[in-house]
A = this chain, B = another copy of it.
Amino acid sequence: MGIRDVFAQNLKTLRLARGLSQEELAHRAEVDRTYISSLERCVYGASIDVVDRLAAVLGVEAADLLKRTPEQSGS
């Protein structure tokens, strides 16, 4: 699984766990709503600056958003 997929999955999982819409997350991280949507669809490789800003809003470390879960690492 590529790093964009890992990031997209972690981002979406955490966003939903926090009860945030793409709009609300975008607003709090000061990025465009369509950008969040694109990141969750692996359209772009986010910069670490954006990863860090999103992590801060979600209450985690930037590294957490790039962490492969055991399922993501498998095969």
Contacts and interface: CB of A to CB of B under 8 A. Distances in A.
How many copies are assembled? Answer: 2
Interface string A1-23: 01110110000000000000000
A61 interface: yes
B49 A48 contact: no
A52 B52 CA distance: 16
* A contact patch SS: helix
Interface in A15-63: 45-52, 61-63
The 9 closest A-B pairs by CB, nearest first: A45-B49, A3-B52, A45-B47, A63-B66, A63-B63, A63-B67, A62-B66, A45-B48, A3-B48
Interface of A: 2-4, 6-7, 45-52, 61-64, 66-68
